[in-house]
Chains A and B, each alone.
Chain A
Amino acid sequence: AAGVIQSPRHLIKEKRETATLKCYPIPRHDTVYWYQQGPGQDPQFLISFYEKMQSDKGSIPDRFSAQQFSDYHSELNMSSLELGDSALYFCASSGPGTDKSGYTFGSGTRLTVV
C-alpha cells in the first residue's frame, strides 16, 4: 500500500540558509500534519492543513511557513536556519475513512544545520 512520502530523506544546510521539505500524503488523504522531533525529544506539532487550507497551528516558528497544494502534497519552508532547527521532521496524513486507524506518518526528513 502507498505510504506517506517525504523528501529529501536527509538535508544538510548552513546557518541562515533556507530549506524546503516536501510531503506527499497517501492518495485520497486530504489532511497533512507536520511535526518536529529533536534528538531525544518527543514529536512537536507544527502545523496542519485540510483541503489546502491551514487547519491548525502549533509551535511553528515565524521563520517557517507551509502550504498544501492542489494535489494535496505539502511543503514546509524554513528560512534563516538556526542550529536548533536540526531535527527530524515528520509529515503525517489522514483522510476519509481513517478515523479509526490514526494518522500515517512518513519516514521523515533529517535536517542538519551546521
Chain B
Amino acid sequence: LAKTTQPISMDSYEGQEVNITCSHNNIATNDYITWYQQFPSQGPRFIIQGYKTKVTNEVASLFIPADRKSSTLSLPRVSLSDTAVYYCLVGYTGGFKTIFGAGTRLFVKA
C-alpha cells in the first residue's frame, strides 16, 4: 500500500480556503485517493475520492496532478466546525484494508 505524507497540522481562519497536500510517491496504477475527516471520539467520515485530475463535491475539491504522486484537498471557506483531523488514504478501493497514515490536524480560528 502506498505510504502517504501530510503536514502534521495547519491553522486557518474562518472564511478562508484551506488546501492540504498529501504526497504518495509510490501510488499504484489501480489506487484511488480518498480523504476522510475525523472529529474527536467519532469515526472517520468520507469526504471525497478521486483517481486523477479534479473532483468536486458539495463540501470539497480534490486536485490530482497527472503523475498522481500527490493530491490536494481544498476546503472552501472553512468554518470553526471544520476543525478536525484530515486523512489522505491511497489504495485500491476493492481491497480489504485501508491504512491510515498520520493525518493533518486542522485548527480553524475565529
Contacts and interface: CB of A to CB of B under 8 A. Distances in A.
- Determine the interface band of chain A, counting residues with CB < 8 A from chain B: 20 to 34
B43 A107 contact: yes
A90 interface: yes
B43 to A, nearest CB: 3
Contact of A90 (B43, B93, B97): B43
A107 B46 contact: no
A48 B97 contact: yes
Contacts of A102: 34, 36, 46, 49, 93
Q: Which of the four size classes fits the interface of chain B?
A: 20 to 34
Determine the main DSSP class of B at the interface with A. loop
Nearest to B43: A105
Interface in B4-53: 34, 36, 38, 41-46, 49
Interface string A35-67: 100000011110010100001101000000000
Interface string B36-77: 101001111110010000000000000000000000000000
